[in-house]
Amino acid sequence: MDVGKDVREKRAMESENVAQATAIAIDHSQLQVQEMQLQVQRTMAALVAESRGGPTATAIAQQASHSMAQLVSTLEALEGERHKIEPTLTAAALRVAALKMPSVSPSSSLAARLSLMREESQIPGLSAELTEFSKFENMVTIKLRFINSTDAAIRFWVTGNSYLLDEAAHKRYGVTEQSNAGPEEVPAGGTLEVWAKYALSEGENSQYLTVVVDKGLLFEHLEVP
Domain boundaries, the chain: 3-103, 117-223
**Residue 60 DSSP label:** H
On whether the CB atoms of residues 57 and 44 are closer than 8 A, the answer is no
Distant-in-sequence, close-in-space partners of 173: CB < 8 Å, separation ≥ 6: 140, 163, 164, 165, 166, 198, 199, 200, 201
pLDDT surpassing 90 at residue 96: no
Amino acid in position 160: G
Cα–Cα dist 144/130, whole Å:
5
Cα–chain-centroid distance for residue 218? 14
pLDDT surpassing 60 at residue 193: yes
Tell me the sheet residues that pair with 212.
Answer: 163, 218
- Output the pLDDT for position 182: 86
pLDDT surpassing 50 at residue 111: no
**Residue 102 DSSP label:** P
On whether the CB atoms of residues 86 and 94 are closer than 8 A, the answer is yes
Instruction: Tell me the pLDDT tens digit for each residue of 32-63.
Output: 656 666 665 566 555 555 555 555 555 655 66
**Fold topology of 117-223:** Immunoglobulin-like (2.60.40)
pTM of the model: 0.52
Cα–chain-centroid distance for residue 179? 23
Residues 193-220, mean pLDDT to the nearest whole number:
90
Select the more confidently predicted residue: 5 or 150.
150
Residues 55-76, mean pLDDT to the nearest whole number:
61
- Output the pLDDT for position 215: 87
- Output the pLDDT for position 65: 59
- Output the pLDDT for position 174: 95
Beta strands in the chain (DSSP E): 118-120, 126-136, 139-148, 154-157, 163-166, 171-178, 183-186, 191-199, 208-213, 217-223
Pairing label, strands 171-178, 217-223: unpaired
- Output the pLDDT for position 213: 93
Among 199, 162, 61, 39, smallest CA distance to 119 is for 61
pLDDT surpassing 70 at residue 225: yes
Q: What is the mean pLDDT of the chain?
A: 74
**Residue 189 DSSP label:** T
